[in-house]
Amino acid sequence: MTAEVQAQPAHTVITLDIGGTKIASGLAMQHADGTWTITRQSSVPTPALEGGPATLAALVAEAGARYAEARADGAQVVGVGVSAAGVIDTSRGVVTSATDTLPGWAGTDIRGALQDALGVPAYILNDVQAHALGEVTLGAGAPFSCALMVAVGTGIGGAVVMNHRVLPGPRGLAGNFGHMHHELANGFMCSCGRTGHLEAVASGYGIAALYGVRAGGVRVPGAAEVAQLAAMGNAVARTTLADAGAALGEILGGLTNAFDPEAVLVSGSVAKAGPVWWDGVRSGFARELMDPARETPLLTAALGDDAPLLGAAVGLSSYLNERN
Ligand SMILES: [Zn+2]
C-alpha cells in the first residue's frame, strides 16, 4: 500500500460533498487504469441552522481531518475537490446563491477558505454538476466525453458535460433543465417564481401539483404518492405520471438535438416512479430526437451516493491537469 501511494502521490485528493443535512468526505485516489477509489470516508451533520460561517468552518474542519489522515497514510495531498449545494461560481469557488436549506450560505468563499487552511488548490462544483461528472466519467455506461444528466427529485436540476468537463456557465446556471418552458406547465407555478416551466409539473412537487389539479383539488405530498396511486390502478395518477414523464422526455430530446451528447443520464428519486413514468419519458424523448440522434441512449444513473464525491475528485483532477 505504501509503495503504491509513493508511486502515485499526484493522484491523492481530498473530496467533500456538502448538502443541507450532511458533509460527506474522503480521500480519493486515481489508479493507473483510470478508476478511482475513495478511502477514509466520513460523514458529519451540516450545522446549517447556525449559518454560513459555521457551515464553512465545519467543511474546513472535515477537510483538515482528511488531510491529517492522508499525511498519516504517507500520501501527498495535491488538492481539494468540493461538491456543494447552491449555485456556484466555479471560476472563483464562491457560492452565488443558495436555498433556505442553507441559510447564510450565499456569498461563502469556499475555495479561499480551503486554500488558506490547507495550502493546496481547491476546485468547487455545484452538487448536481459534480454528480454528473462522476456518473459520466465512472458511472452508467461510462466513460463518455459528452453527456447530459438530469436529476429529477423535489426539483429538477441537471448538468452538461462536454469533452470530460462540466459546463458551469459564467453564472453557474448551466444545466437548469427544469426551468425551460413546456406547454403542460402553463399556469403552474415554478420554484423560480415563474409559470410554465417543466419543473412545475415534472418534478416531485410538480407531479403532485399536476395530479392535485386533475383529481379535483386533492393534495398529495409528492411523486412517490402519485406513483403508489398509479400502481393501485388509479387512472388519473397513471396519466399524470405518463404526461409528466413525456414532458421531461420531450425536453431531454430537444436538448439532445441542441447539444449532441453521447448519452443522457437520469437520476433522482422520481426516476424510481415506475414503468408508467419511464414509458412516458422514453416516448417523449424518441418523438423529439432528430434522425442522427435517434440512437442516443437514455440511461439511469448507477453510482449512488458516492457520485458527487467521485465527481468532485474528477473535477479537481482535470482542473489541476489544465493548470500544469
Ligand atoms: Zn422555473
Q: Is 132 left (phi over 0), alpha (psi -120 to 50) or beta?
A: alpha
Give residue 176 CA to ligand 1 midpoint distance, Å: 9
Tell me what the mean pLDDT of segment 59-86 comes to.
95
Tell me what the mean pLDDT of segment 9-37 comes to.
89
The predicted structure's pLDDT at residue 6: 42
Q: Does the pLDDT value for residue 323 go beyond 90?
A: no
Q: Does the pLDDT value for residue 219 go beyond 90?
A: yes
Q: Does the pLDDT value for residue 1 go beyond 50?
A: no
High-pLDDT (> 70) share of the chain, %: 97
The predicted structure's pLDDT at residue 8: 45
Q: Does the pLDDT value for residue 282 go beyond 50?
A: yes
Specify whether the CB–CB gap between 168 and 174 falls below 8 A: yes
Q: Does the pLDDT value for residue 26 go beyond 90?
A: yes
Confidence of residue 142 (pLDDT cuts 50, 70, 90): confident
The predicted structure's pLDDT at residue 305: 82
Q: Whole-angstrom Cα distance, residue 54 to residue 158?
A: 28
**Average predicted confidence (pLDDT) for the chain:** 92
Which pTM does this prediction carry? Answer: 0.86
Question: Which protein residues have their CB within 5 A of the ion that is ligand 1?
Answer: 179, 190, 192, 194, 197
Give residue 19 CA to ligand 1 midpoint distance, Å: 21
Confidence of residue 57 (pLDDT cuts 50, 70, 90): very high
Give residue 185 CA to ligand 1 midpoint distance, Å: 10
Give me the DSSP letters along 54-98.
HHHHHHHHHHHHHHHHHHHTTPPP--EEEEESSEEETTTTEEEE-
Tell me what the mean pLDDT of segment 317-321 comes to.
91
Q: Does the pLDDT value for residue 111 go beyond 90?
A: yes
Which residues touch 295 (CB under 8 Å, ≥6 apart)? none
3-state secondary structure of 233: coil
Give residue 188 CA to ligand 1 midpoint distance, Å: 10
Give residue 40 CA to ligand 1 midpoint distance, Å: 39
Strands 22-30 and 36-45: antiparallel
Q: Does the pLDDT value for residue 251 go beyond 60?
A: yes
Tell me what the mean pLDDT of segment 208-227 comes to.
96
Specify whether the CB–CB gap between 77 and 11 falls below 8 A: no
The predicted structure's pLDDT at residue 304: 80
Q: Does the pLDDT value for residue 173 go beyond 90?
A: no
Displacement of CA 48 from its chain's centroid (Å): 20
Q: Is the peptide bond before 9 cis (omega within 30 degrees of 0)?
A: no
Give residue 204 CA to ligand 1 midpoint distance, Å: 14
Give residue 230 CA to ligand 1 midpoint distance, Å: 26
Kind and range of the H or E run holding 125: strand 122-126
Q: Does the pLDDT value for residue 3 go beyond 70?
A: no
Give residue 194 CA to ligand 1 midpoint distance, Å: 6
The predicted structure's pLDDT at residue 172: 83
Q: Does the pLDDT value for residue 7 go beyond 60?
A: no
Give residue 16 CA to ligand 1 midpoint distance, Å: 28
The predicted structure's pLDDT at residue 60: 98
Confidence of residue 79 (pLDDT cuts 50, 70, 90): very high
Check the CA dihedral 118-123-125-130 and report its sign.
negative
Q: Whole-angstrom Cα distance, residue 201 to residue 97?
A: 24
Specify whether the CB–CB gap between 98 and 106 falls below 8 A: yes
- The count of other CB atoms within 10 Å of the CB of residue 291 is 6
High-pLDDT (> 90) share of the chain, %: 81
Give residue 196 CA to ligand 1 midpoint distance, Å: 8
